[in-house]
Amino acid sequence: MFLALLLILAVWTGPAAAQSTTVADWGEADLATAAALRDRALKGTSAYDHVSSLVTEVGPRLAGSPGDEAAVRWAMNRLGKLGFTGVRSQDVLVPRWVRGTTEVSLLGAAPQALVAATLGGSIGTSEEGIEAAVIEVPSLDALIGNEAPDVKNKIVFINERMERTKDGASYGKTVGNRVRGASAAANLGAVAVVIRSVGTSDERFAHTGRMVYDMDAPRIPAFSLSNPDADSLSRHLKANKQTRLRLKSTARELPPAWSANVIGEIPGTDRADEIVLLGAHLDSWDLGQGALDDGAGVAIVVEAARLISRLDRKPKRTIRVVLFANEEFGLSGAKEYARLIGDEHMKHVLAMEADTGIGPVIRLETQVAPESLGAIETMRKALQPLAVEAGNNTASGGADLGPLRSLGVPVLDPVLDASLYFDVHHTMNDTLAKVDAKVLDQTVAAYAVMAYLAATKQDDFGRLAPDR
């Protein structure tokens, strides 16, 4: 009994003990500066101007496209004008896929054009297109499961709806339809795949996004339908099992093109060789303006760093903003960054990315050494009055951080409210009209505080076990 009580006391004192370690992590002046930085950002930042400038002057910027080139120039100029130091680019070779035109029609007495997108990476059709009957399946699992339907010479329609969730976790549950649907269908003899968009809105926009062919599967074209059009097709199939579609696409792959990561820094004081990395990606899909994906992320990290650069009390470590090339089409920018830094990865104390829209930050997840979790809790508390929950320590931290994480770099993963993000993600409707400046400012406040505290912390965040 006494032992049990002791154990309970031990558990109870846990958090207090963890907090007491943070007294050593930061001095009073560091924490006061972080609080002032937060309050300054909450009063209003220039983040909206950054997104507005990017989407107005550049707009869509698919990897390797003229828009992508313009985005690299924009980023170099912007970071320079804002007073970043060491502004530079790293050449990155990127795949160059071109959408061309897309036509999906429901055949019948009066053919109906459906709102569709060719999925990123898909081959096109022949000039005549594909005309075939449609087989509906409720999910990728149902397609490849034991009861796989006979889809030979047919068009497979994967009709699974992505549910709306606050943290966007449902994306992971349905995105496989998009990524692997084509090869799964092709392996069963289908001539094309059409999926319900991986997206949450009932507005009539098709969601694009990358698909990947299995090495040994026949290559068939892949399309997505807007949610209302997936509804229509499904209603048609209920009334008439013989429903046919006509599919046409002039999508094609061109030779790889050069793009670039763009880098700028806020130099540290006495530990300038140590780096806190703030990442976002500069490329976007071709359909929209890339305001949320990832113009907002670019604005968040650029503005967080800029606000830190204006402080009297500079951070000890260098804050490095990296605007990655080509997140959407295979992460070649992130991989090239990790390759080019070589051993400098050991000097990367922490990495954070912003790539799920405008926010606000609702939860703080991490993957850091367990000894640092007390410090993380102090950082989270420094964000008040922003209501940011504590999260787990198994976060992945954003797609562009994968290669760094594999090398052992700890990551901090602020989870953004993504309730509305997947309404417009990868659609034509990803525009500045979806950017709420006030919400964006809150996210900037959170990123700025976290970056500042990471860059002034006495000890580092440990290292992760490298993947390979």
Do residues 318 and 273 touch, judged by C-beta distance below 8 A?
Answer: yes
For a copy of itself, the closer CB: 124 or 288: 288
- Asked whether position 77 contacts a copy of itself by CB under 8 A, the answer is no
Select the residue interacting with a copy of itself from 184, 280, 418, 428 (CB under 8 A): 428
Q: Within a 10 A sphere around the Cβ of 206, how many other Cβ atoms?
A: 27
Question: Across the strands, what pairs with 88?
Answer: 263
Token couple for 447: 């990123």
Residues within window 107-166 making contact with a copy of itself, judged by CB under 8 A: 109-113, 115
Instruction: Report the alpha-carbon distance of residue 420 to residue 31 in Å, rounded.
Output: 33
Three-state DSSP class for 459?
A: coil
Q: Which residues contact 128 (CB under 8 A, 6 or more apart)?
A: none
- Tell me whether the omega of the peptide bond preceding residue 294 falls within 30 degrees of 0, making it cis: yes
DSSP 210: B
Select the residue interacting with a copy of itself from 432, 437, 458, 463 (CB under 8 A): 432
- Asked whether position 69 contacts a copy of itself by CB under 8 A, the answer is yes
Instruction: Tell me the one-letter amino acid at 289.
Output: Q
Question: Considering the complex, what minimum distance in angstroms separates the CB of residue 11 from a copy of itself?
Answer: 50
Element holding 237 (H helix, E strand): helix 227-239
Interface region with a copy of itself, contact rule CB under 8 A, candidates 2-10, 156-164, 227-235, 337-345: 227-235
Do residues 397 and 413 touch, judged by C-beta distance below 8 A?
Answer: yes
Select the residue interacting with a copy of itself from 131, 167, 203, 377 (CB under 8 A): 203
Catalytic residue (one of 160, 303, 327, 328): 327
Instruction: Report the alpha-carbon distance of residue 175 to residue 160 in Å, rounded.
Output: 10
For a copy of itself, the closer CB: 19 or 232: 232
Three-state DSSP class for 147?
A: coil
- Asked whether position 80 contacts a copy of itself by CB under 8 A, the answer is no
Interface region with a copy of itself, contact rule CB under 8 A, candidates 116-124, 126-134, 208-216, 423-431: 423-431
- Asked whether position 436 contacts a copy of itself by CB under 8 A, the answer is no
Question: Considering the complex, what minimum distance in angstroms separates the CB of residue 67 from a copy of itself?
Answer: 4
Three-state DSSP class for 163?
A: coil
- Asked whether position 55 contacts a copy of itself by CB under 8 A, the answer is yes
Instruction: Report the alpha-carbon distance of residue 396 to residue 381 in Å, rounded.
Output: 22
Question: Considering the complex, what minimum distance in angstroms separates the CB of residue 106 from a copy of itself?
Answer: 8
For a copy of itself, the closer CB: 87 or 233: 233
Instruction: Tell me the one-letter amino acid at 110.
Output: A
Identify whether 327 is a catalytic site residue: yes
- Asked whether position 225 contacts a copy of itself by CB under 8 A, the answer is no
- The number of residues that bind a copy of itself (CB under 8 A) is 39
Question: What are residue 364's phi and psi, to 5 degrees?
Answer: -115, 105
Residues catalogued as catalytic:
327
Q: Interface with a copy of itself by CB under 8 A: which residues?
A: 52, 55-61, 65-67, 69-70, 106, 109-113, 115, 202-205, 227-228, 231-232, 235-236, 239, 288-289, 428-429, 431-434
